[in-house]
Structures are given as C-alpha cells and as structure tokens.
C-alpha cells in the first residue's frame, strides 16, 4: 500500500462530493460538497482542495451500469476527469468503478437516522467516502493503484 493522502470525488450534475483519507490510507472521511452546476467554479474549488490536501492522487468515481457498460453519465465524468487532470497536474487522477456507491451511501445515512431531506446535502460526500474506501481496499488487495489512470492531454 502506497503511503499518502488521497482525495475522492463523486461527480454529480448538481453537486460534487469530496472525501479524503489519512496518509496511511486507512480511513476515508467526508470533506465537503462542491456545487456542480458552475463547472469552471467547481474545477477551481477542486484545484484548491488538491493544493490544500496535497494528495498523492485524486480518485474519481466512474458511473457504470450494473452490467459494467458505460453510458452518457460515464462519458460526462470522463470529460470532467480529463479537465481535472489538466488542472491538478502533476497529481495523478484515476477513474474507479462507482457502481452502487450512492445506494450504499443512502442506506448508510438512513440507517444512522438521517432524514432524506437533510441527507441530500451530505449524500455526495458519503458517496465519495464509499468510492475512496473501495479504492483503498482494491489497492490493498491488488498491490497496485486502483482503477485506470487519466491521461493528461495538454
């Protein structure tokens, strides 16, 4: 397991959840929800978070269908990750499978007694935590970085 903090991003149309982990890669915690409708402002805020947290990599959840295919949402996230990779270079950006993370996050919030209306403000952060925990587990299991790297095209 590589040592170093990571940031995780759950990209949505309205909101972008952000999570971080400790330098040992043991525990992922929520950071904040970035408004997603103003894409340039969202990218600016994400670059600020990368500067602040100094991660060894940024993990972005890639929405796939249950069968593993990719649709319009995945294409949108790939484009978002490409732009993010240009903005945070040389920090690597990786895409990881995020199937079922929002469902898992919703169930966890409901189980902890958070009402759905209040949960909307944190669901994206919790989904980012789930994405990061899954990525950390994948790295522990495989011994290599999770998911696929995003090529920086300048």
Q: Specify the pTM.
A: 0.87
Pick the more confident residue, 120 or 1: 1
Token pair for residue 42? Answer: 């969202």
* pLDDT, tens only, 22-51: 999 999 999 999 999 999 999 999 999 999
Using alpha carbons, select from 78, 136, 75, 125 the residue that is nearest to residue 102.
125
Q: Give me the residue spans of the domains in the chain.
A: 6-148
Rounded distance between C-alpha atoms, residue 129 and residue 109, angstroms: 12
> For residues 96 and 59, is the Cβ–Cβ distance under 8 A?
yes
Q: Closest Cα partner for 124 from 25, 38, 6, 36?
A: 36
pLDDT tens track for 79-122: 999 999 999 999 999 999 987 555 565 666 666 666 655 556 68
CATH class held by domain 6-148: alpha beta
Q: How many Cβ atoms sit within 10 Å of the Cβ of residue 143?
A: 8
């Amino acid at each position: 397991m590589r040592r170093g903090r990571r940031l995780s991003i759950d990209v949505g149309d309205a909101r972008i959840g952000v999570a971080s982990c400790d330098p040992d890669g043991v525990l992922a915690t929520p950071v904040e929800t970035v408004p997603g409708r103003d894409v340039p402002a969202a990218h600016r805020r994400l670059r600020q978070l990368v500067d602040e947290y100094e991660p060894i990599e940024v993990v972005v959840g890639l929405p796939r269908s249950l069968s593993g295919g990719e649709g319009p949402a995945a294409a949108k996230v790939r484009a978002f990750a490409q732009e993010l990779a240009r903005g945070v270079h040389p920090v690597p950006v990786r895409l990881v499978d995020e199937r079922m993370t929002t469902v898992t996050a919703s169930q966890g919030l409901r189980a902890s007694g958070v009402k759905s209306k209040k949960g909307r403000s944190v669901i994206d952060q919790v989904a980012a935590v789930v994405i990061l925990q899954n990525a950390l587990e994948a790295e522990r299991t495989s011994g290599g970085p999770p998911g696929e790297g995003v090529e920086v095209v300048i």
